[in-house]
């Protein structure tokens, strides 16, 4: 489940009462504990590294912070071509070695029970925070830059792509067994602009990674991007809930496994309703390979019993474990 390690679990909240989000990320023992919590509690079929798509920004010297309850903040946003020269040269091992230590520690603790997924954001999606300075309502700085000086923005995205390659290779070398790329803001773009702006840095990342591990590409609000997504050299395409998987399959063909796409809101209903929706999802995803998942992050107020009903229904479905 997306965001399975996190706020809907009381044992996660207990840790966050004593410390803060970035400290958990920076401390391999805590990141390990939080990564393992949903594996122990729910029996999910894979662990996802506890980290954040914005952590790589720490090596650019832009001042990343997560205020309690306010989401990410970037002290020195990058908003124009001239700002690029102010970025520090990335030094992934020096500044992000704690993530690789966490990966090694999680692999040791998991001891082969389930695989570990590493991840990063796509450059376009990371830029949606780096350019805006945090979560944004209008994305006016990013969109403004993209129309005013697309070449300048492309240089930032390329820089983020190179940093992301080093970051992901570090995760893979430390033991991540699959990589998921999150393009949570890809849907802001029409297909032509997505191809022009968001796609080239993604291709650069995938080429840099090589075929070392299976790759999963997540897009939110990307139903209009499917013809472009179908051409991506990834193993798994992960989509949100706005379109049935069977329709996604029609556009994407049989070359990729699909991942998703239960509405996270469905986990706020009754456990019976969760089971019924999950069975319908499994039916919709039949044929061609399907990894049952949510269509976006699990909501913090989700009852644990409902997350459990989702997992149990998927695992009892007779599908391959």
Interacting residue ranges for ligand CP3, rule: CB under 6 A: 2-7, 16, 21, 48, 50-54, 66, 71-72, 119, 135, 182, 184, 220, 297
Nearer to ligand CP3, 52 or 284 (CB): 52
Least separation in angstroms between CB 47 and ligand CP3: 9
- State which residue, 18 or 192, has the beta carbon closest to ligand CP3: 18
CA 102 – CA 94 distance, rounded (Å): 14
- Residue 54 or 153 with smaller CB distance to ligand CP3: 54
User: Based on CB atoms, which residue is closest to ligand CP3, 25 or 245?
Assistant: 25
To the nearest whole angstrom, how small is the minimum distance from the Cβ of residue 30 to ligand CP3?
Answer: 12
For ligand CP3, give the closer residue by CB, 54 or 248: 54
Q: In whole angstroms, how close is the CB of 150 to ligand CP3 at the nearest point? A: 23
Minimum CB separation from ligand CP3 for residue 231, in Å?
22
Task: Report d(CA 265, CA 243) in Å as an integer.
Answer: 15
Residue of minimal Cβ distance to ligand CP3: 184
DSSP 19: S
* Minimum distance of ligand CP3 from residue 53's CB (angstroms): 4
Cα–Cα distance measured from residue 184 to residue 60, given in angstroms and rounded to the nearest whole number: 21
Reduced to 3 states (helix: H, G, I; strand: E, B; else coil), residue 43 is coil
Q: From CA 124, how far away is CA 213, in angstroms rounded?
A: 22
Cα separation, 320 vs 289, in Å, equals 10
C-alpha distances (whole Å) from 150 to each of 127, 147, 185, 224 are 13, 6, 17, 21
Separation of first and last alpha carbons in the chain: 15
């Amino acid at each position: 489940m997306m965001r399975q390690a996190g706020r809907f679990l009381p044992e996660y909240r207990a840790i966050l009462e004593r410390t803060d989000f970035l400290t958990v990320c920076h401390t391999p023992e805590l990141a390990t504990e939080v990564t393992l919590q949903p594996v122990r509690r729910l029996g999910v079929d894979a662990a996802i590294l506890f980290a954040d798509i914005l952590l790589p920004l720490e090596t650019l010297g832009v001042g990343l912070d997560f205020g309690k309850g306010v989401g990410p903040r970037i002290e020195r946003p990058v908003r124009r071509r001239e700002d690029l020269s102010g970025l520090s040269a990335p030094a992934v091992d020096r500044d992000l070695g704690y993530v690789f230590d966490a990966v090694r520690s999680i692999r040791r603790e998991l001891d082969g029970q389930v695989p570990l997924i590493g991840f990063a954001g796509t450059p376009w999606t990371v830029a949606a925070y780096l350019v805006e300075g945090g979560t944004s309502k209008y994305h006016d700085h990013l969109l403004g830059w993209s129309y005013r000086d697309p070449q300048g923005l492309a240089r930032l995205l390329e820089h983020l792509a190179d940093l992301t390659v080093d970051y992901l290779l570090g995760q893979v070398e430390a033991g991540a067994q699959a990589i998921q790329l999150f393009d949570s803001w890809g849907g802001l773009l029409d297909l032509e602009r997505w191809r022009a702006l968001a796609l080239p840095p993604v291709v650069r990342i995938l080429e840099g990674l090589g075929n070392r591990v299976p790759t999963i590409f997540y897009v939110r609000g990307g139903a209009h991007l499917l013809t472009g997504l179908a051409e991506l050299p990834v193993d798994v395409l992960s989509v949100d809930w706005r379109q049935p998987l069977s329709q996604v399959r029609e556009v994407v063909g049989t070359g990729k496994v699909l991942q998703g796409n239960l509405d996270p809101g469905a986990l706020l209903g009754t456990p019976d309703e969760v089971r019924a929706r999950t069975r319908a999802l499994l039916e919709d995803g039949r044929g061609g390979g399907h990894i049952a998942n949510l269509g976006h992050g699990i909501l913090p107020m989700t009852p644990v019993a409902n997350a459990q009903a989702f997992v149990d229904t998927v695992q009892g479905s007779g599908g391959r474990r």
